[in-house]
Amino acid sequence: GIQVEQSPPDLILQEGANSTLRCNFSDSVNNLQWFHQNPWGQLINLFYIPSGTKQNGRLSATTVATERYSLLYISSSQTTDSGVYFCAAWGGEQGGSEKLVFGKGTKLTVNP
Amino acid sequence: NAGVMQNPRHLVRRRGQEARLRCSPMKGHSHVYWYRQLPEEGLKFMVYLQKENIIDESGMPKERFSAEFPKEGPSILRIQQVVRGDSAAYFCASSPRIRYSDTQYFGPGTRLTVL
């Protein structure tokens, strides 16, 4: 099955800084999603982005499906951006059930 | 449109007891997925259900775990005779599956603690 790797595993920023999180996947994807898990454990959908670029406020994401990676950009980071960012993908295996495979996450800490 | 609902949010059980976790998908969604997150790890797929059918349970432990999604009511993940290693956060996701591949929307999770 598909494998998903995220980097960096940990990231510490000062408030106001920009950052880029990376997600590599081992096969072509039909579904790729980015999530933010806040310090209270809630999992928040950020983007559904199997290809192309999307933006939502200070966040944007780009997936280059042919090169098997996705990037999540956070601009002007705020302390509320702290938490763990997960990338998850489904490769569309024949007969597969669309189960998402999650990376291990990037733990982001934004200091005031 | 309410999001995916899960209850209880926190559940404490003693070893050997049963745990029942409930998931109500978003309105109009008939596809439900359960994932488990062990401490300090990412989420791992457990089971995928449609109404009254288990489609894929390849991620479910072979014993003590079962899931259902009846015609009426929420999806239930049941863990019998819980052990300490079952302590984890259990997330439910739902999808309309209108397209071949659709966004999965996640609930807030149930945090199970086994004493």
- Judged against a pLDDT cut of 60, whether residue A96 lies above it is answered with no
If you average pLDDT over every residue of chain A, what do you get? Answer: 91
Contact between residue B33 and residue B23 where contact means Cβ atoms under 8 Å apart: no
- Cα dihedral B37, B40, A32, A66, rounded to 10, equals -140
In this prediction, residue A97 has a pLDDT band, given cuts at 50, 70 and 90, of: low
Asked if B89 has any chain A CB less than 8 Å from its own CB, the reply is yes
In this prediction, residue B79 has a pLDDT band, given cuts at 50, 70 and 90, of: very high
- Judged against a pLDDT cut of 70, whether residue B103 lies above it is answered with yes
Share of chain A above pLDDT 70, in %: 95
- Judged against a pLDDT cut of 70, whether residue A80 lies above it is answered with yes
- Nearest in space to A42 (alpha carbons), one of B72, B107, B53: B107
Q: How far is CA A41 from the centre of its chain?
A: 16
The 10s digit of each residue's pLDDT in A59-72 is 999 999 999 999 99
Q: What is the pLDDT of residue A52?
A: 95
Chain B residue numbers with beta carbons less than 8 Å from the beta carbon of A50 are: 101
Q: Do A33 and B104 touch (CB under 8 A)?
A: yes
Distance between CA atoms of residues B16 and A36, nearest Å: 34
If you average pLDDT over every residue of chain B, what do you get? Answer: 92
Q: What is the pLDDT of residue B101?
A: 64
The 10s digit of each residue's pLDDT in B3-52 is 999 999 999 999 999 999 999 999 988 899 999 999 878 899 999 999 88
Chain A residue numbers with beta carbons less than 8 Å from the beta carbon of B111 are: 41
In this prediction, residue A40 has a pLDDT band, given cuts at 50, 70 and 90, of: confident
The beta-carbon neighbor of A97 closest among B42, B56, B108 is: B56
Q: What is the pLDDT of residue A104?
A: 94
Smallest CA–CA distance, residue B2 to chain A, in Å, is 14
Q: Do B101 and A30 touch (CB under 8 A)?
A: yes
Count the residues in chain B: 115
Q: Could you give the 3-state DSSP secondary structure of residue A69?
A: strand
Q: Do A31 and B48 touch (CB under 8 A)?
A: no
Distance linking the first and last C-alpha atoms of chain A: 41
- Judged against a pLDDT cut of 60, whether residue B109 lies above it is answered with yes
CB within 8 Å of chain B, chain A residues 19-38: 30-31, 33, 35
Distance between CA atoms of residues A92 and A57, nearest Å: 30
Q: What is the pLDDT of residue A63?
A: 96
Q: What is the pLDDT of residue B99?
A: 61
In this prediction, residue A92 has a pLDDT band, given cuts at 50, 70 and 90, of: low
**CA angle B74–B75–B77, rounded 5-degree value:** 135
- Judged against a pLDDT cut of 80, whether residue B65 lies above it is answered with yes
